[in-house]
Amino acid sequence: MGSLPSIKEQFLAKRENKFFIAGVEASQFPGLEQHPEIFGQAGDLTYLNLSHAQFQGGIPHNLGNLSKLQYLDLGGNYLKPKSLQWVSGLSFLQYLDLSYADLRKATDWLLVTFQHPSLLELHLSTCSLEDDPSPINVNSTKSLVVLDLSENNFSSVPMSIFGLQGLLSIDLSSNSLEGPIPDYFRNISFLEVLDLSGNSLNSSTPNSLFSLNHLQFLNLSSNEIDQDVSEILLSLSRCCLDCLESLDMAHNHLFGHLIDQLGHFKNLAHLSLAGNNISGPIPLSIGELSSLKFFDVSENQLNGTFPQCFGQLKSLETLDLGCNQLEGVVSETHFSNLTRLTTLAASQNRLRFQPNSSWILPFQCQIIKLGQWHLGPKFPRWLKFQKNLSVLDMSNAGISDILPTWFLNLSTQFEYLNLSYNQLTGGISHLNVREFVDLRSNRFTGPLPRVFPTLKFLMWSNNSFSGPLFELVCNPLRKGPMECLSIKGNLLSGEIPDCWNHWRVLVYLNLENNNFTGKIPPSLGHLNLSVLNLRNNDMFGELPSTLQLSTSLIILDLSDNHFSGSVPTWIGDKLSKLEILSLRSNSFDGHIPQKICQLQSLRILDLGNNNISGSIPKCFSNLSAMANKSNQNSYMFQWSITLTNLFCMRTLLVLKGRVDEYSTTLGLVTSMCLSTNRLIGEIPKELGSLVELQSLNLSRNLLIGNIPDEIGNMELESLDLSMNQLNGEIPSSFSNLNFLNHFNVSYNNLTGQIPTSTQLQSFGNFSYMGNHLYGPPLTKNRSTNRTPTDVANNGSRSEGSNVNWLYVSIVLGFVMGFSGVVAPLFYIRSWRHAYYRKLDHIGRKLYMSWATMGR
């Protein structure tokens, strides 16, 4: 029979119970818009809530017959103005919610609604309202008391609202308001609630705002107000000292100190000044705010101690002092009367808390964040009695202890657990965490713990976990939305299992610095990864073709393994979002594929230390991210802003002649390294168009010809062309390289005078030796130290070379003896990079000795 009889029966039944008069909730009656005749039987209805009813064919026209309606909620239905004309005829209407209706061209209708004689409360949130070129003139009316215009598109406060002199509450949050706060708010003298948060209001708060002596709730957060906070507090104390209950000015540009008058707001229950530049100590008068429930001054520059007066705030529920410069000792007295506290957040301060071992917290917290406090060396026993914890951060807290069994067996289920950067030891059998766990940089051992199938972020890097990945990755219960998996720097071994198909939402996978062997499993290519880092393992084989399906990859780091074969052409053809590609220190051969030039977003390319041959592609000039200022528009720059605080995004780059690790600045680095291969031919002049490139390393190849003049037009900070077969002079354009802090052209066949510039003369002889160069900074008039051609050609000796074999035997003896000590370093992977720079320095000295003996 369909749904009509059942819906009618539900309505009629509830009418018999007089439910019509009490109210109707649309969620109880799906399909309501298909049966408008129902409302013809509800003439006495005073309360009607049809919010989020998902009307498909418009509002039932019979609603206009509900003449006694006082409360009408149509929010969340995406209505059009034409279907709302009847609303203005509801003469008894007091409450109206039309949130999410499309009212961008409904100026006349709004005028009538604003002046509705009985309407008290009007909600027009997210209605696409915009500035009207001909502002609405509203006659003075005292009927409307609550007006919600939040989340619209106003760039200035509509002048029409200043005629609504009876307003008690105005919400203009999350619009696009610009410029100073208008003076006209003083016309609404009875205003109690003003919310202008989430806009771009600047300058300082006007004096007219502080004439509102009935103000109870003031929210100016997330704007650009630039003012001394003490001026604001003093002005508020003159107008609304006894009535102000909530003040939120978080995330502005406030400066100055908190003043003692802050403690005089006796009814203040909510105070948020987070994310400003407020400095100085927290005033002791804070202890006088007996009504205070919420106090947040995080992300400022407050210094001094953690005042004991906080212990007097018996009503306090949320205390957030995080990211300041507080220091000193915190005792049990600070928390003695805080029996209602549910959130204690004070991470990133220099505070010490070591209560008596038998002390029990007087409150049951849901959130405790004490990262960078000194809580150790023992694991805090006072946590044992916390039964409601969902968020715990004790990172970098100086704890050197075994993770106690009682902690793992707490009855609470954590949503967020961060114990990173301590010296915690022992094994972990399981973790009772639902969403986020960070155990980085401890000394945990044993197999990987069992985890909840709902876990989203898992970071266990830099521990001593051992064993295979199989149980974690291939667990059939693993159905949850894991987004980040970082287990780098452990002792994990075996092959990476090929069962990633159910990790569909994983975006970040970092398994670097382990002992994994085998090939890359094909199922990894079926994920929607943004970051894949397998650096520094013992993996081998060719790259699986399924990786070309990972079209969202931004970072691909497979360096320091034993991968072989040619560099796949599909990297350039399919991975169009790639910004960092590092295949360094593998066994790749063949030529650099021309398709690499299609990677318009590529900013870091490292193919160094392989067996790649052929010439450098001229089409590298098409790598537009290295040629244009595009960092702010890059995928990784936008992506890392969101995720960097969750998991440190790092990559190793060979810049300035050494291995460096970049994390927070990774989104700003541009680099190309093709060193230690078998590249031949000339350096393409087209590289000179990559003007945004910061580091270029072509050293240790077989490149010939002159150095292109165009290189001097770049803005390089590091340039290494050493140990090739380049000839001619150093281009005079190199005098324009004003940002260089690393430069090396040693061991080529260069001739002539070194160009004069501030930068080129700042480097030592080491940067120029092994050539026929002269002039400052060389100590001799002309340098004749040159790497012989036979050294460049794999050390084969040419006939007629006069070698002093006594010196050669001395050098070889030294090399053999030295290698007996150093050789083990090559087999202990964790030491390898630490000695990289030193070995490179020794190698260059040996080249110099050999070159001298060759003469």
- SS3 category, 513: coil
CA distance to 240, 514, 614, 710, 720, per residue, from 685 (Å): 70, 41, 16, 6, 16
Is pLDDT at 236 greater than 50 in this prediction? yes
| Single residue among 641, 672, 702 that ends a domain in this structure | 702
Distant-in-sequence, close-in-space partners of 90: CB < 8 Å, separation ≥ 6? 64, 66, 67, 69, 72
The tens digit of pLDDT for each residue in 557-574 reads: 999 999 999 999 999 999
Q: One-letter amino acid identity for 229?
A: V
Q: Characterise 54 by phi-psi region: left (phi > 0), alpha (psi -120 to 50), beta (else).
A: left
DSSP letter for 450, please: B
More confident residue, 654 or 807: 654
What's 74's domain CATH number? 3.80.10.10
The tens digit of pLDDT for each residue in 548-558 reads: 999 999 999 99
Quick check: is 848 in a domain? no
Token pair for 355: 């209560």
The tens digit of pLDDT for each residue in 426-435 reads: 999 999 999 9
Q: Please give the backbone phi and psi of residue 44, each rounded to the nearest 5 degrees, phi first.
A: -95, 5
Angle made by CA atoms 805, 808, 811, in degrees to the nearest 5: 155
Angle made by CA atoms 100, 101, 103, in degrees to the nearest 5: 125
More confident residue, 33 or 419: 419
**Length reported for the chain:** 855
- Please name the residue that has the structure tokens 């006659």: 139
CA distance 675 to 670: 16
How many folded domains does the chain comprise? 2
Among residues 88, 78, 90, the alpha carbon closest in space to that of 125 is found at 78
The whole-number pLDDT of residue 824 equals 43
Name the band, by pLDDT with cuts 50, 70 and 90, for residue 844.
very low
The whole-number pLDDT of residue 112 equals 67
DSSP string over 183-248: GGGGGSTT--EEE--SSEE-S---GGGGG-TT--EEE--SS----BHHHHHHHHHHHHTTT--EEE
| Single residue among 175, 209, 239 that ends a domain in this structure | 175
Print burial letters for 677-691: b (CB count within 10 Å at least 16), e (below 16): bebeeebbebbbbbe
Do 127 and 102 touch, CB atoms closer than 8 A?
A: yes
Quick check: is 408 in a domain? no
Q: One-letter amino acid identity for 132?
A: D
Do 507 and 528 touch, CB atoms closer than 8 A?
A: yes
CA distance 179 to 90: 38
Among residues 153, 292, 272, 152, the alpha carbon closest in space to that of 221 is found at 272
- Kindly state the average pLDDT of the residues 297-315: 95
CA distance to 159, 574, 625, per residue, from 599 (Å): 51, 9, 9
Name the band, by pLDDT with cuts 50, 70 and 90, for residue 49.
confident
**Containing H/E element for 14?**
helix 4-16
DSSP string over 476-500: TT--S---EEE--SSEEEEEPPS--
The whole-number pLDDT of residue 717 equals 93
Name the band, by pLDDT with cuts 50, 70 and 90, for residue 31.
low
The tens digit of pLDDT for each residue in 687-737 reads: 999 999 999 999 999 999 999 999 999 999 999 999 999 999 999 999 999
Q: If you average pLDDT over every residue of the chain, what do you get?
A: 83
| Residue 467 CB-density burial (10 A; 0-12 exposed, 13-18 middle, 19+ buried) | middle
The whole-number pLDDT of residue 77 equals 84
DSSP letter for 731, please: P
**406-420, 538-552, 559-573, 652-666: segment of lowest average pLDDT:** 652-666
Distant-in-sequence, close-in-space partners of 827: CB < 8 Å, separation ≥ 6? none
Name the band, by pLDDT with cuts 50, 70 and 90, for residue 501.
confident
Do 164 and 158 touch, CB atoms closer than 8 A?
A: no
CA distance 431 to 113: 56
Token pair for 512: 């670097």
Do 265 and 245 touch, CB atoms closer than 8 A?
A: no
- Kindly state the average pLDDT of the residues 96-120: 79
Q: Are strands 651-655 and 658-662 parallel, antiparallel or unpaired?
A: antiparallel
The tens digit of pLDDT for each residue in 346-382 reads: 999 999 998 887 888 899 999 999 999 999 999 999 9
The whole-number pLDDT of residue 444 equals 97
Name the band, by pLDDT with cuts 50, 70 and 90, for residue 38.
low
Among residues 444, 477, 474, 480, the alpha carbon closest in space to that of 459 is found at 444
CA distance 402 to 427: 9
Q: Please give the backbone phi and psi of residue 240, each rounded to the nearest 5 degrees, phi first.
A: -145, 45
Quick check: is 523 in a domain? yes
**Containing H/E element for 643?**
helix 635-643
Quick check: is 568 in a domain? yes
Angle made by CA atoms 825, 826, 832, in degrees to the nearest 5: 70
| Single residue among 663, 683, 702 that ends a domain in this structure | 702
Distant-in-sequence, close-in-space partners of 219: CB < 8 Å, separation ≥ 6? 173, 194, 195, 196, 197, 246, 248
Is pLDDT at 106 greater than 70 in this prediction? yes
- Kindly state the average pLDDT of the residues 840-852: 39
Distant-in-sequence, close-in-space partners of 470: CB < 8 Å, separation ≥ 6? 494, 497
The whole-number pLDDT of residue 630 equals 52
Name the band, by pLDDT with cuts 50, 70 and 90, for residue 74.
confident
CA distance to 372, 416, 575, per residue, from 645 (Å): 15, 14, 26
DSSP letter for 107, please: H
CA distance 308 to 303: 15
Is pLDDT at 774 greater than 70 in this prediction? yes
Q: Which residues span the domain enclosing 150? A: 8-175
**Percent of the chain residues topping a pLDDT of 70:** 78
Among residues 573, 608, 610, the alpha carbon closest in space to that of 590 is found at 610
Quick check: is 763 in a domain? no
**78-82, 494-498, 648-652: segment of lowest average pLDDT:** 648-652
How many C-beta atoms surround the C-beta of residue 520 within 10 A? Answer: 24
More confident residue, 816 or 712: 712
Peptide bond between residue 476 and the one before it cis (omega within 30 degrees of 0) = no
- Alpha-carbon torsion (74, 77, 78, 79), positive or negative: negative
The whole-number pLDDT of residue 56 equals 53
- SS3 category, 284: helix
- SS3 category, 413: coil
- SS3 category, 679: strand
Quick check: is 66 in a domain? yes
Quick check: is 563 in a domain? yes
CA distance to 343, 400, 809, 825, per residue, from 328 (Å): 21, 21, 63, 44
CA distance to 221, 544, 679, per residue, from 564 (Å): 55, 11, 17
The whole-number pLDDT of residue 759 equals 87
* Maximum pairwise Cα distance, the chain: 117
Do 654 and 678 touch, CB atoms closer than 8 A?
A: no
DSSP letter for 572, please: H
CA distance 215 to 194: 8
The whole-number pLDDT of residue 32 equals 54
Q: One-letter amino acid identity for 480?
A: G
Across-strand partners of 508? Answer: 484, 531
Q: How many CA atoms lie within 13 A of 492 on its CB side?
A: 30
Do 73 and 51 touch, CB atoms closer than 8 A?
A: yes
| Residue 571 CB-density burial (10 A; 0-12 exposed, 13-18 middle, 19+ buried) | buried
**266-280, 630-644, 787-801: segment of lowest average pLDDT:** 787-801
Do 481 and 505 touch, CB atoms closer than 8 A?
A: yes
Quick check: is 524 in a domain? yes
